[in-house]
Amino acid sequence: MLQKLETLRDKLSDLSKSNRSLRLLKLQDKWNFDLAALDQIQTTKHSSTQQIIKRLMSGSTPLYLISNQSEEEIGIKINQQLATLQRNLSAIEEETGLYSVYIGYPFLSGKMTDGTFVQAPIFLFPVRLEKQTEGNNPGWILTRETGEEPTINRTLLLAIQKYCQLKIDDQIYDNAKELAKENLATELCRLLTASGVTTVVDDGAMAKLPEFTQKTIPGVPEGHFTIKTHAVLGHFPQGNSTLLKDYDELIKNIKETTNLGLLEEILLENSSVTEGVSDNTLSLDIDAISHKELYNVTDLDASQEEVILGIDKTNGMVVHGPPGTGKSQVIVNLISRAIAKSQKVMVVCQKRAALDVVYQRLDSVGLADHVALVHDATTDRKQLYQKLEAVLDEKYLHQADTEANDYHKLADKIDAKTTYFNDIAAALWSRQPCELTPFQLYTRSKMLSSNEIMLNLGNLPDTISIERLEKLLTTITTLGNCYGKYGHENYSWVKRTSFATMDNSQRYELTKQLNLALSQSETIEALHKEKYTEYFTPEECWSHSIIIENGVRKVGNYNNGKFLSKLYLWFWVRFNGKPIIEKVAPDGFKDYKSDQWNQLEQRLIHLFKYTEATRTLH
């Protein structure tokens, strides 16, 4: 734990050689402007460096720098430098919310015991660079907020402590504020020397800050420093340095005790802060929570409400999502909920624009009076106190009580409506005996067309499942199609005996008979194509079947040449077979040639087959 705190402290402390608050070797227009350059102006209206420092020490404001209507070359150049500086400072303020612009005066120059050369301002006077376009003196000015105090360069002192192995008491920051405005350099020298920093004062006049490269750094003794009267306007970030005191205090506490509360839980990987934290959205019954506990001021979807309510169920939560997914709405409602519960809440964002979005949303719902927007701890202090005063006003408190009562009444109505609609939803999703919910039944329903009718199923839906019903519907569809095809009065089998009571053997026998009947009907149809069969009805064929069969046999025996066979044939033709011969051969036989007997034999055989086929079908 101690090691982690020290690591975080070191990361916070920017004591690198590129830090302008510690090692200002070269001036750049977008970061700095040397006030001594004003002393080079001849004709343009301006203030000298001495005049600016004098008014700065006396607390006067504004500090006039130079007219923006200069016609001399140096004046035009200075105007361009100030414009570049202001443009960059405004961009930084818009992005971070911080305006770390100071006049650095005087400067400390020298080498630390590790050989690091420093050239940095000791005192930082907070100012704001503005371009004045109205009035009698248009030009560049420096303004100061009322109550803003100069501060000692913490980054410089921290570097001296670290690289010179010195322990400088924090009391030096308080003592520096009490230094006399006159002979400031001498007083600073005394104060630094008392803290163990070997320091001398350069009594030279105000001059431009010398610029160095890595090769031209002067060879001064290590551990010795000189205070010089340089004044530079520029960006000297101090925000991170002010937190170092807190880290030092934490490190001191961790050495004396092992309990740092929530901070320890957050920093330690095996802490209980991860207990109850899930990678997924918490599963909560939102409708079961009364609206009196919600205090939502903007529209939210279910997932956003789960996040807000889940805060009370876990020690920590991460809400991740791309832009436009509603994270700022969640933050706004978290703030409103904390305000309603008389809790304190702090919103920290990396960029100023994010804080502005949250503040604008709170302002749109009337909560701006309860929220302090702090981009800069110094410049926004006055506005913070004004809001605190407004919130503590008795009239305001009375109005808040009245609005709270109205809110509770409205919340009760919403809860009643929620219960009512939840009951409807529960009914819609309750599974019925048919194994479907009413909602599923609604989704399956459709408008009846003009050629459709609705059947009253009675209590059938209460006794049959949807799966069985769907199978039954297939059968019903088949039966309906069959009825439409075979159920009309003109169908030949409409009055048939029902086959429903037949068993498998009976059904097989029936199928066999039907197949035989179909086969015989085809045979009959083929035999009926002969013209002479038209003269015989099936009944005539059946009654003369023996005569026809004998005729086939007698005619067939005619060709064997025996007298007896011919005699039998003669008697058959003249007597028994005469009715048959008259229809089969209506022209009769003029003689009994062999080819005529063969033709007669074929006709008798054909007629015999016709007789047997019709008898079988019957």
Mean pLDDT computed over every residue of the chain: 81
Distances (CA, A) of 40 to 25, 47, 48, 49, 51: 21, 11, 9, 10, 14
Q: Report d(CA 159, CA 118) in Å as an integer.
A: 9
pLDDT band at 7 (very low <50, low <70, confident <90, very high): confident
Q: Is the pLDDT of residue 168 over 90?
A: no
**124 vs 144: CA distance, rounded Å:** 13
Residue type, 512: K
Q: What's the pLDDT at 564? A: 66
Least confident of 250-259, 321-330, 346-355, 455-464: 250-259
User: Is it the case that residue 273 has pLDDT exceeding 50?
Assistant: no
Q: Tell me which residue of 527, 554, 547 sits closest to 616, measured CA to CA.
A: 527
- Position 233, amino acid: L
pLDDT digits (tens, 9 = 90+) for 64-115: 999 988 889 999 999 999 999 999 999 988 887 778 899 999 999 999 888 8
pLDDT tens for 349-368 read: 877 788 888 889 888 888 88
Indicate if the pLDDT at residue 347 is higher than 50: yes
- At residue 376, the pLDDT reads 72
Q: For residue 589, is pLDDT > 70?
A: no
Residue 427 has pLDDT above 70, yes or no: yes
Q: Distance of alpha carbon 480 from its chain centroid, rounded? A: 52
How many other C-beta atoms lie within 10 A of the C-beta of residue 299? Answer: 9
Position 10 scores a pLDDT of: 65
Decide if pLDDT at 180 tops 60: no
Return the minimum-mean-pLDDT range out of 150-164, 405-419, 499-513, 525-539: 525-539
Question: Percent of the chain having pLDDT more than 70?
Answer: 82
Spans of all domains in the chain: 21-236, 282-428, 435-496, 507-617
pLDDT confidence bin for 565, thresholds 50/70/90: low
Q: Average pLDDT for residues 513-529, to the nearest whole number?
A: 75
Looking at per-residue pLDDT, the higher value among 312 and 378 belongs to 312
Q: Which long-range contacts (CB under 8 A, 24 or more apart) does 26-31 make?
A: 26/211, 26/212, 26/213, 27/209, 27/211, 27/232, 27/234, 29/80, 29/81, 29/84, 29/85, 30/84, 30/85, 30/87, 30/88, 31/85, 31/88, 31/234, 31/235
C-alpha span between 309 and 339 (Å, rounded):
15
pLDDT, tens only, 132-158: 988 778 899 999 877 678 888 888 888
Measured in degrees and rounded to the nearest 5, phi and psi for residue 324 equal 90, 10
Q: Which residue has the tokens 């604008």?
A: 360
Bridge partners, residue 461, by sequence: none
Q: Which of 258-267, 388-397, 581-590 is modeled with the greatest confidence?
A: 388-397
Going by pLDDT thresholds of 50, 70 and 90, the confidence category of residue 128 is: very high
| Whole-number pLDDT of residue 88 | 95
Q: Which of 108-117, 309-318, 573-582 has the lowest mean pLDDT?
A: 573-582
